[in-house]
Structure 1
Amino acid sequence: MLQLCLSAITDEENNPALKGTQALVIGILVVIIGSSLGMNSGYAINPSRDLPPRFFTFIAGWGAQVFRAKNWWWVPVVAPPLGAFLGGIIYLVFVSSTIPRKPQILGNPKEYEDHKIPKLPKTMPP
């Protein structure tokens, strides 16, 4: 959902958020995702936020119990890359493909069609 919404918020062709409000909208999005799933996974949408405390408590003496409790340790490792990939694909297939795109027009087509090799000026003899 995060990648899908990020794509929708930042896509210039898809009625994006107003200029200057993208950061606020993305912040609200992260808070909503965290508050809706935070009780299950401890707000585990980022492996760098979840795994270091687990490794620290493992090294500090709590043992392998930190990885077995609630069995959620693998979620922030697997879900973000997989979810980002799937969210991007879903956005491209279902949203981006339905947006009419303007064809790109070259500034001066004649300039790009001229395939002649430019000749360098001859130097004057000393």
Structure 2
Amino acid sequence: MMDTSLVLQFIGEILGTFILILFGGGVVAGVVLDKTKANNAGWVVITIAWGLAVAMGAYVSGYLSLAHLNPALTLGLAFAGEFPWTSVPAYVGGQFIGAFIGATVVWLHYYPHWKATKDQGAKLSVFATGPAIRHYTSNLFGEVVGTFVLVFGIMSIGANEISAGLNPLIVGALIVVIGMALGGTTGYAINPARDLGPRIMHAVLPISGKGSSDWGYSWIPVVGPILGATIAATAYNLIIHHQLSIWLFISIAVLIIVEIITISSTKKEQNVQKKHKVQKYNYTKEKS
């Protein structure tokens, strides 16, 4: 644990997450908003910048806090017994405050470009993730896998002897490869504060021409990362330290239950859509 006070750790999480969202949200804004010099720069630019955003956020906060910058990581480590529950509220609270501030500054920085951009989905993507194909079962699984790799990777990186100061860059590289390899399906939130914090600000801020904040999808980038992080942290302790935690089984069970529910709801939705199509076809046929 850090030798700084919990107040300073709280401030460290605010500062680090602020930098994370400022650079991460900023690169998405530059790529998707109209009339920016980075417009249409592409997915590679976004993934590299997000990796560097994580690294820079960790450097900014690392001398004050443990630089979690991610409620899923904080909770996963707490469930695994690697982080004190008494410090969880300060860390998670700091992460969300930093995300709120970062999203607000991104909005102000690109202020005239919101009005110049007509695509409401593009505007939302600056603040929050969304699926390439809306399929909750697959979307949840993708967020679980991405966060599992992130947390298991971070714990593995920490166990290696690495020159002082290089860890954040290596974690940043991990973020880049997660984005390039796994992020194309959901936008790889892998961090509840990164998604829910700015999504709240999207709903609150007077963004010109904005649309829905897509609250129907918002639970995926919260539940998925928390489950993925908990499974990763407890599985790491089981494999490496031979420490078995009940939370490993609970998190896997919750994942299975939620996936079954989403599969069932998806089938019901598909049946309703088919029924509507048949009714529309019959109505059109009768009229003709």
> Do they fold alike, i.e. is TM over 0.5?
yes
1:17 and 1:23 mapped to 2: Cα distance?
14
Q: How does 1:11-90 map to 2 (within 5 A)?
A: 11=159, 16-20=160-164, 21-58=166-203, 62-63=211-212, 66-68=214-216, 71=217, 73-90=218-235
Q: Which has the higher helix share?
A: 2
TM-score by length of 1: 0.56
1:17 and 1:25 mapped to 2: Cα distance?
12
| Deviation (angstroms), 1:34 | 2.0
Identity of aligned residues (%): 34
- More relative contact order, 1 or 2 (CA 8 Å, 6+ apart): 1
1:51 and 1:28 mapped to 2: Cα distance?
24
Describe the superposition over 1:16-56 as per-residue Cα deviations: whole angstroms up to 9, x where unpaired. Answer: 04222222211111111122232211231122222244334
CA contact (8 A) 1:35 1:43 kept: no
Moved more, 46-55 or 23-32: 46-55
Moved over 3 A (4+): 52-61
| Deviation (angstroms), 1:9 | 1.1
The residue number in structure 1 matching 2:247 is: none
Distance verdict in 2 for CA 1:74–1:36, change over 3 Å: farther
Q: How does 1:88-107 map to 2 (within 5 A)?
A: 88-97=233-242
Which structure 2 segments of 5+ residues have no match? 1-148, 243-288
Residue 79 of structure 1 aligns with an amino acid whose one-letter code is: G
1:56 and 1:18 mapped to 2: Cα distance?
38
Aligned length: 89
1:58 and 1:30 mapped to 2: Cα distance?
27
Which of structures 1 and 2 has the bigger CA Rg?
Answer: 1
Distance verdict in 2 for CA 1:41–1:19, change over 3 Å: same
1:52 and 1:10 mapped to 2: Cα distance?
27
1:41 and 1:62 mapped to 2: Cα distance?
19
Tell me the C-alpha RMSD between the 2 structures. 2.3
Which structure 1 segments of 5+ residues have no match? 98-126
2:188 and 2:181 mapped to 1: Cα distance?
9
Residue 162 of structure 2 aligns with an amino acid whose one-letter code is: L
2:172 and 2:161 mapped to 1: Cα distance?
13
1:10 and 1:84 mapped to 2: Cα distance?
16
